[in-house]
Chain A
Amino acid sequence: DVKVTQSSRYLVKRTGEKVFLECVQDMDHENMFWYRQDPGLGLRLIYFSYDVKMKEKGDIPEGYSVSREKKERFSLILESASTNQTSMYLCASRLDRGNTEAFFGQGTRLTVV
């Protein structure tokens, strides 16, 4: 079975903390993505990466950074967590072709207090 694994299902962090969300895929996919999901807004792309050490901003990159040191791992970093970053975060990976589906992790529900 193909797998995208996110390190945590639930996280509670304090305002100002540095937060790391980890995502690992075992499918040798070139592309990896981080989305956040909020009610009424659907999935919004934060960052994506099409190769190791490569990254591109998505629609809402402010307050976030990413790291991709190895092909299978894509990390989302909240440099200084704020309450408006409380959300569901979804990681996905995809082969480097437009006609393929993306595979998603189970999501991390982050609460910033």
Chain B
Amino acid sequence: AQKVTQAQTEISVVEKEDVTLDCVYETRDTTYYLFWYKQPPSGELVFLIRRNSFDEQNEISGRYSWNFQKSTSSFNFTITASQVVDSAVYFCALSEARDTGNQFYFGTGTSLTVIP
């Protein structure tokens, strides 16, 4: 079963619009960690944020914000006033504390295109 689901395959928005990328996860662990990565056209995945399962506070970093809700097993990512440089593939990932291999479980990614 897929541990991380990103149902939106592709999204297009016009510059300055807000956009939310959805992420739903599945785990039986009580301690786990959630991540968002950005993959620009250059190819390298860039770390954006980490959240542990005990911290449900939402986080804001400039135009980026993250909404973590354990009740719905979701960790959504919102970009406010989108810019062309936000065009990229975004991945949500899960890591479980009991996993001795320290694996990441990635979603299939959401490709965001911001149109000027």
- Which residues of chain A are near B101, meaning CB under 8 Å? 31, 48, 50, 56
Binding site secondary structure of chain B: loop
User: Size band of the B side of the interface?
Assistant: 20 to 34
Closest-by-CB residue of B relative to A49 is B101
Q: B66 near A: Cβ within 8 Å?
A: no
Contact A48 B103, beta carbon cutoff 8 Å: yes
- Nearest Cβ on chain A to B33's Cβ, whole angstroms: 5
Closest-by-CB residue of A relative to B33 is A99
Closest-by-CB residue of B relative to A58 is B103
Q: Jot down 18 A-B pairs with beta carbons below 8 A, ordered by A.
A: A31-B102, A33-B104, A43-B106, A45-B103, A58-B103, A92-B104, A96-B102, A98-B96, A99-B33, A99-B95, A101-B35, A101-B47, A101-B50, A103-B47, A104-B44, A106-B42, A106-B43, A107-B44
Q: A68 near B: Cβ within 8 Å?
A: no
- Nearest Cβ on chain B to A41's Cβ, whole angstroms: 6
> Which residue numbers of B lie inside 8 Å of A, CB to CB?
6, 9, 31-33, 35, 37, 42-47, 50, 52, 91, 95-97, 99-104, 106-109
Q: A71 near B: Cβ within 8 Å?
A: no
Task: Count contacts between A and B, CB distance < 8 Å.
Answer: 68
Q: A27 near B: Cβ within 8 Å?
A: no
Closest-by-CB residue of B relative to A40 is B108
- Which residues of chain A are near B106, meaning CB under 8 Å? 35, 42-43
Contact A104 B107, beta carbon cutoff 8 Å: no
> Which residue numbers of A lie inside 8 Å of B, CB to CB?
9, 31, 33, 35, 40-43, 45, 48, 50, 56, 58, 88, 90, 92, 94, 96-107, 109
